[in-house]
Amino acid sequence: MKLSTQILLYTLLLSFLSCEDEPIEGDFLTGGLTCELALANTAQAALNFLSVNDDNYTQLCTAYRNALQAQIQACGDSDASLQIVINGLGDCTNNNQEATAVEGTWLLTAWLGEEPIDLNNDGTASDNFLDEMDCYENETIVFDIDGTAVSMSTSYASFIFDIEVGTTDQLTYTIECEFEDENTNMTWSQIGNSVTIDDGTNVSDFILNGNQLSVFIPEGFFAFSSDFTATTTQDLTFVYTKQ
């Protein structure tokens, strides 16, 4: 079973608490479903999921996932805790596949953007921005079994663009890569396929999928025009691969 009984009980409690600060009056409707009813449906689906077996896993997992999605629609999900549980359930088909152990070394292998960019100006754009530059090539996170981790940074980049003459949206980029040797001590915890990392300043929720660990970074990519009068941004998903 992908999630243990303890994890399911935790997520059930999380489902209730996530709407504590949201209105649950009977007239609060989204698509005809009140927040109060959505909470009750999620609670029942979670309880049903506690008795899951190989024969009914997909059915009960899907029902639980759908109930969580309906709760988000009706009640909101301000801290994204419900979405984390949904991500951990995955596609509800691989119930016998155990998640890859977090302990070990993970290498940053992708910056996945919303739209492909030709950062290195070779005429070919990519939505994996790391393929477009010689920077961030040895960024790792090393997880220890005791709940501690170390993030190792070897470089960082800044991005400058110029608008090509005769166009309004064609950009030519310049990448400035600076090398460094910086380690950051962190702590981590895992619930299902969700891995939470705390570096003492920021808390980030990563999703574990096989041998890949990913995190969504809003406006993680940003570039300045050469005269610093304009910027362009994209949301990024950082992907780490276990070594």
Q: Along the chain (243 residues), what's the average pLDDT of each consecutive run of 10 residues? A: 42 47 40 80 85 80 88 86 80 62 95 92 92 93 97 94 82 92 95 90 90 92 91 93 95
- pLDDT at site 166: 79
Query: Which pLDDT score is estimated for 27?
Result: 38
In angstroms, the first-to-last Cα distance of the chain is 25
Contacts of 20 (CB under 8 A, 6+ apart): none
Q: Are 180 and 155 in contact (CB under 8 A)?
A: yes
Q: Which residues contact 225 (CB under 8 A, 6 or more apart)?
A: 160, 161, 162, 163, 231
Q: Do 203 and 79 contact (CB within 8 A), yes or no?
A: no
Between helices 35-49 and 57-75, what is the axis angle to 10°? 160
The phi-psi region of residue 166 (left if phi > 0; otherwise alpha if psi is between -120 and 50; otherwise beta) is left
- 24, two tokens: 């649950």
136-139: list long-range contacts, CB under 8 Å, 24+ apart.
136/108, 136/111, 138/107, 139/107, 139/108
pTM of the model: 0.61
How far apart, in whole angstroms, are the C-alpha atoms of residue 24 and residue 35? 5
pLDDT at 17: 44
